[in-house]
Structure 1
Amino acid sequence: MTSDTPYAYETLNVRREGTVLVIGLNRPHKRNAFDATMLQELATAYGVLDTDDSLRAGVLYGEGKQFTSGLDLASVAPALQNGASLVPEGGINPWQVDGRRLSKPLVAAINGSCLTLGIELVLAADIAVAEESATFAQLEISRGIFPFGGATLRFPRAAGWGNAMRWMLTAEQFDAAEARRIGIVQEVVPDGTHVARAITLAQTIARQAPLGVQATLANARLAERESEAAAEGELVPTVLKLFASEDARIGLGAFLSRTTAEFVGR
């Protein structure tokens, strides 16, 4: 694949804006929920961003009315329970909780609702821009599982312990102003301008010395990686145990039927 060749994906819209790779989650009919295909394709796109020397920064956004509703549990849970890899060879885990991390900056652009793994994509990015009407919710505990895409590691660091626990342990919704106040997004912009603003930021970064940008990222992550290393190995094993629990079955059933879960603690 050369830098002039269009990027073709089933579940993503991917294009170049000069030296910036712009990646759009493109399952709007499913609220941009991640099925196995989109997980694999996003990992592949991140790998392209990382290894293509003509690219200097990336932007991630959601097509349609929202960023993402998170994981398509009914589609992905069986693969997770069977231990299937959702990161193809050459790809990068979009949540960057295992394997190598992006060596180039990524700007996230959030609109509509940003749920569960969507917040964790934002936390794994380097800069986040949200439109004024965007809303956020870390819903995993209401579905009988827990945030396993890095929120337990990064949310407290970004927002402070109390702010992170306020939203992770209640599964309640918060707005863009609160996201900006606690530091998980860096700018709030008028509705409909979030992608353009993110591209502008990415292009500004792309005009800087690329080796200096990459060295800054790598050096800033040194302490972060040391503190995360021990915890990362526990994320997937823990969630697999929770997926097998009765509470997870109850939570998934409540989610699919749009009812309130009554958990039993086992």
Structure 2
Amino acid sequence: MNEATAPDGLTVGQVSERLGVTVRALHHWDEIGLARPSLRTAAGYRLYTAGDLERLHRVVVYRELGLSLDRIRALLDSTATDVAGALRAQRAHVAARIDRLRRLSAGLDRMIEAHERGPLLTAEQQAVIFGPRWDPDWPAEARRRYGGTTQWQQYAEGAASRGPEEWQAVADAMAGFERDLGEAMDAGVVPGGPEAERLVERHRDVFAPYFPLTRRMQVCLGRTFETDPGFAAHYDGIRPGLAAWFRLLIDAGARAHGIDPDTATWE
């Protein structure tokens, strides 16, 4: 005799194994009246008949489709319920969820790629956006140096959602700042003065799309601008001596905010 049609039915453990659901779930469905066993042993143990199993199969299927227990109860117990209509509505819900998951997956792919190589731009796009002096190997070098830092993670997360137009806006803002920085040097702006402080604040603003820049970090960058050959060549290419002068502006602004530029660290 088949186990499912045996007069004494199936135990909770046997049903759990057969349907792949937990004993706890079966007990819960029994308690809320969703799928109750029709029989009990003399000792009070639950026993599920073939009819009980049929109902449980439908519960499991509907749960896998994402229906709530209340909705499942309505489908099983009400003869007036439009089962096909309810399933079509659930199919639409599942399709929308699949679409969201696909978009999430695509976003994760972009995030992974941005963490691994920085701007999601071709070498040609980088040359157009950042100018002919831009080296497309710089992001890879930055990752080798700083890939384990919080700032690289922040930079990568921004890069993952930024397309060519957004990068162009970032580059234009920085280019405009550097142009005005050179003109301020020509005009004899004094480090520590109001105009110099506005330039220092503006630098932090235009740098923010890469990652938030604290004043102490800015001091460290100022050192790099003057001492790193690549950065120094970039700024001095705008105006001779601009790298050193820019550092003076940054250091003076830091002192005005109680920071010693000589001891400032990356924090």
User: TM tier, shorter chain?
Assistant: under 0.3
Q: Which has the larger radius of gyration?
A: 2
By relative contact order (CA 8 Å, sep 6+), the higher-ranking structure is: 1
TM-score by length of 1: 0.19
TM-score by length of 2: 0.19
Structure number having the greater strand percentage = 1
